[in-house]
């Protein structure tokens, strides 16, 4: 507790004496009972000089964390992360974080379970080191596709992961393009949900594709595609598909006239690329002249890169929420855009306690 300072006023009555009037006959104004002193703001726009701010990274995507640090003018904090012979993770902070506003960058990408547990251990270490606030920056939220009971006797894993992060000690969360926006409701802590669309829209505007039509690969992504199409000033179509099993999709038909159009498929996740390739074929068979695609998260599991390489897709544009695997890096059809600036601006706004709404544009 801060010590209170007593200020003596000669006009203050002593004992039962009446109060002395102030000069000019003015009475002393009565103090406001509910008035509270303005809190001292120690934060500064120059985060590199802010002793109450630190940025840390796990092993999932250290390059993205480094780029974020460059954008906001700070270095990624020093840590020690090792593994025992059986794979058990050991984590230690090499910097003091007592009373600090901490941001931890860690997408839960492949291997998902390993990176998730790593993040949980990091949060626990920060909590026990007395960090003032812990914000988890999770550009890619693993288990997001398991957000409801669509079959008997299955887990809602997206909710489970939310509970794990909160129980571990996270005070706030920052995500990019959740598979379903409703996942924010699984958290009992503040959540900031960003979209990669500003970065993607900027790129395709410069590309200036003629007769452009934005296409959602399934009805569930229509809202995302509609927003993108409005920003591009392009019409919208979607593909009706029937999923027969996990990672297996059968395209049924194209809803919308794509004849003579340059189609741009928009999705949040490209996993095995089965849906993507079949959507490309369906659009070309329906009369599209060429097909491009973009997505926020390039998971690219299993045969994904081989399927993309063999497909009639012109180009796949993704962001660096997930580090591109070696096979994907060698594929000329894949272009990676960085969202470090977007995340950096969001982190800066959260730390300064200002609105992040402008980042949606």
Catalytic residues: 241
**Is residue 172 classed as helix, strand or coil in its secondary structure?**
strand
**Is residue 178 classed as helix, strand or coil in its secondary structure?**
coil
324, 300 contact by CB (below 8 A): yes
Which residues have a Cβ under 8 Å from the Cβ of 57 and sit 6 or more positions away?
A: 64, 65, 66, 76, 79, 104, 105, 106
Report d(CA 281, CA 55) in Å as an integer. Answer: 44
Task: Compute the C-alpha angle 88/94/95, nearest 5°.
Answer: 135
Query: Is residue 13 reached through a cis peptide bond, with omega within 30 degrees of 0 on the bond before it?
Result: no
Report d(CA 55, CA 105) in Å as an integer. Answer: 8
The first and second tokens of residue 178, run together, are 């959740």
Report d(CA 255, CA 240) in Å as an integer. Answer: 7
* Burial of 139 per CB tally in 10 Å (0-12, 13-18, 19+): buried
The number of residues making up the chain comes to 361
Task: Compute the C-alpha angle 120/324/213, nearest 5°.
Answer: 110
């Amino acid at each position: 507790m801060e010590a209170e300072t007593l200020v003596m006023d000669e006009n203050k009555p002593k004992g039962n004496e009446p109060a002395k009037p102030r000069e000019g006959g003015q009475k002393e104004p009565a103090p406001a009972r509910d008035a509270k002193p303005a809190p001292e703001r120690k934060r500064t726009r120059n985060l590199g000089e802010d002793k109450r701010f630190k940025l840390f990274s796990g092993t999932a995507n250290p390059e993205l964390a480094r780029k974020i640090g460059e954008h906001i003018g700070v270095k990624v904090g020093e840590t020690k992360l090792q593994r025992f012979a059986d794979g058990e993770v050991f984590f230690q902070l090499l910097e003091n974080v007592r009373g600090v506003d901490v941001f931890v960058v860690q997408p839960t990408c492949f291997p998902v379970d390993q990176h998730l547990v790593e993040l949980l251990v990091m949060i626990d270490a920060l909590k026990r080191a007395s960090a003032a606030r812990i914000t988890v920056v999770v550009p890619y939220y693993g288990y997001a596709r398991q957000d409801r009971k669509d079959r008997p006797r299955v887990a809602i894993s997206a909710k489970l992961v939310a509970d794990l992060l909160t129980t571990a000690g996270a005070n706030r969360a920052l995500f990019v393009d959740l598979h379903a926006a409703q996942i924010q409701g699984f958290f009992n802590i503040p959540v900031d949900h960003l979209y990669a669309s500003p970065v993607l829209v900027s790129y395709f505007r410069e590309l200036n594709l003629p007769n452009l039509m934005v296409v959602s690969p399934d009805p569930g992504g229509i809202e995302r595609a509609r927003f993108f199409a409005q920003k591009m000033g392009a019409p919208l179509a979607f593909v009706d598909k029937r999923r027969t099993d996990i990672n297996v999709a059968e395209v049924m038909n194209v809803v919308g006239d794509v004849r003579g159009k340059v189609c741009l498929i928009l999705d949040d996740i490209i996993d095995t690329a089965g849906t993507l390739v079949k959507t490309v074929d369906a659009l070309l068979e329906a009369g599209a002249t060429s097909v491009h695609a973009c997505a926020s998260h390039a998971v690219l599991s299993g045969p994904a890169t081989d399927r993309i390489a063999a497909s009639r897709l012109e180009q796949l544009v993704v962001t660096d929420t997930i580090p591109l695997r070696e096979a994907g890096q060698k594929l000329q059809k894949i272009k990676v855009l960085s969202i470090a600036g977007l995340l950096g601006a969001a982190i800066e706004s959260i730390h300064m306690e200002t609105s992040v709404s402008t980042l949606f544009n």
